[in-house]
Structure 1
Amino acid sequence: MAHLAPVWSKLTPLTVVRGEGAYVFDSEGVRYLDATSGIAVTSTGHSHPRVAQAIADQAQLFIHAQVNIYTHHRLQELADRLENVTPEGIDTFFFSNSGAEATEAAVKLARQYTKRTNVIVFQGSFHGRTAQAMAMTTSRTGYRAGYQPLPAGVFVSLFPGFPRVGGADGTSVTQAIDYLDYLLAAQTAPGETAAMVIEPVLGEGGYLPAPAEFLEAIRERCTRYGILFVADEVQTGFGRTGRMFAVEHAGVTPDILVMAKGIASGFPFSGIGSSYDIMKEWTVGSHGGTYGANPIGVAAAIATLDVIEEEGLVANAAQRGAQLSEGLRQIAESRKEIGKIRSLGLMVGVEIVDPVTGAPDPGRTAAILKELFTTHHIIAMNAGTFGNIIRWMPPLIVSQEQIDTILSGFRASVEATA
Structure 2
Amino acid sequence: MTSVPAWFDASRPVPDLRTPLPGPAGRAAVALDASVTSPSLPRAYPMTPVRGYGSAIEDLDGNLFLDFNAGIAVNSTGHAHPTVVAAVREQAENLLHYSASDFFLPIYAEYCRALTATAPMGVPTRAFLTNSGAEAVEGALKLVRFATGRPYAISFFGAFHGRSFGAMTLTASKAKYHSGFGPLLPGILHAPYAPASPSYLEDVLFRFQVDPREVAAVFVEPIQGEGGYIVPPPGWMARLREICDRHGIMLVADEVQSGMGRTGKMWAIEHTGVRPDVLITAKGIASGLPLGAFVARADLMESWPMGAHGSTYGGSPVPCAAGLATLRVIAEENLMANATAQGDFLLTGLRELAEREPGTVRDVRGVGLMIGVEFADGRVAGLVQQACFQRGLLVLEAGENVVRMSPPLTLTRQDAATGLRLFGEAVSEVAADLRMSRDLGAAR
* TM category, shorter: over 0.9
After superposition, the CA RMSD in angstroms is 1.1
Matches within 5 A, 1:296-307: 296-307=318-329
Give the equivalent residue in structure 2 for 1:47: 80
| Number of residue equivalences | 395
Q: Distance in 2 between matches of 1:185 and 1:191?
A: 12
The CA distance in 1 between the partners of 2:316 and 2:329, in whole Å, is 20
- In the other structure, the counterpart of 1:190 is 212
Distance 1:271 1:121 in 2: 19
Structure 1: how far apart are the matches of 2:51 and 2:124? 37
1:271 aligns with 2:301: no
Which residue number corresponds to residue 325 of structure 1?
A: 347
TM-score normalized with structure 2 length: 0.87
Residue type at the aligned position of 2:326: T
Higher Rg of the two aligned structures:
2
Is the aligned partner of 1:367 residue 2:383?
A: yes
Matching of residue 235 in structure 1 with residue 235 in structure 2: no
Distance 2:105 2:181 in 1: 39
For residues 382 and 257 of structure 2, the distance between their equivalents in structure 1, rounded to whole angstroms, comes to: 23
Equivalent residue in structure 1 for 2:173, among 104, 122, 139: 139
Partner letter of residue 397 of structure 1?
T
1:400 matched to 2:422? The reply is no
2:427 aligned with 1:414: yes
Partner residue, 1:56: 89
Is 1:79 the counterpart of 2:112? The answer is yes
- The 3-state SS of whatever aligns with 1:25 is strand
TM-score by length of 1: 0.92
Show the 5 A alignment for 1:1-400: 1=32, 2-87=35-120, 88-89=122-123, 91-161=125-195, 172=196, 176-182=197-203, 183-335=205-357, 336-354=359-377, 361=378, 363-374=379-390, 376-384=391-399, 386=400, 388-400=401-413
**Equivalent pair of 2:112/2:128 in contact (CA under 8 Å):** no
Q: 1:90 to 1:9 in 2, by over 3 A?
A: farther
Contact 1:65 1:71 in 2 (8 A): no
Deviation at 1:90, TM superposition (A): 5.2
Question: 1-side partners of 2:413 and 2:124: how far apart?
Answer: 34
SS at match of 2:58: strand
Counterpart residue number, 1:164:
none
Q: 1:26: Cα distance to partner? A: 0.9
Q: Which residue of 2 aligns with 1:166?
A: none
User: How far 1:89 moved relative to its partner?
Assistant: 2.1
Instruction: Determine if contact 2:100/2:108 at 8 Å carries over to the other structure.
Output: no
In the alignment, the residues of structure 2 paired with residue 13 and residue 145 of structure 1 have an alpha-carbon distance, to the nearest angstrom, of 26
Equivalents in 2 of 1:125, 1:253: separation in Å?
Answer: 20
State the Cα distance separating 1:190 from its structure 2 match: 1.4
Tell whether the 8 Å contact from 1:23 to 1:31 is kept in structure 2 after alignment.
yes
CA shift for structure 1 position 240: 0.7
**Partners of 2:175 and 2:255 in 1: CA distance:** 22
Query: Once the 2 structures are TM-superposed, how far is the Cα of residue 194 of structure 1 from its aligned partner?
Result: 0.2
For structure 2, the 5+ residue unaligned runs are 1-31, 433-444
* Structure 1 residue 397: Cα displacement: 0.4
Q: Distance in 1 between matches of 2:125 and 2:185?
A: 30
Unaligned runs of 5+ in 1: 162-171, 355-360
TM-fit CA distance, 1:16: 1.7
CA contact (8 A) 1:255 1:275 kept: yes
Give the conservation status (yes or no) of the 8 Å contact 1:90–1:256: no
1-10 or 238-247: which moved more?
1-10
In structure 2, what is the equivalent of residue 358 of structure 1? none
Listed one character per residue, the Cα deviations across residues 186-214 of structure 1 (whole Å, up to 9, x for unaligned) are 21211100000000001110000123411
Looking at structure 2, the residues matched to 326 and 64 of structure 1 have their Cα atoms a distance apart, in angstroms, of 46
- Greater shift in the superposed pair: 397-406 or 77-86: 77-86
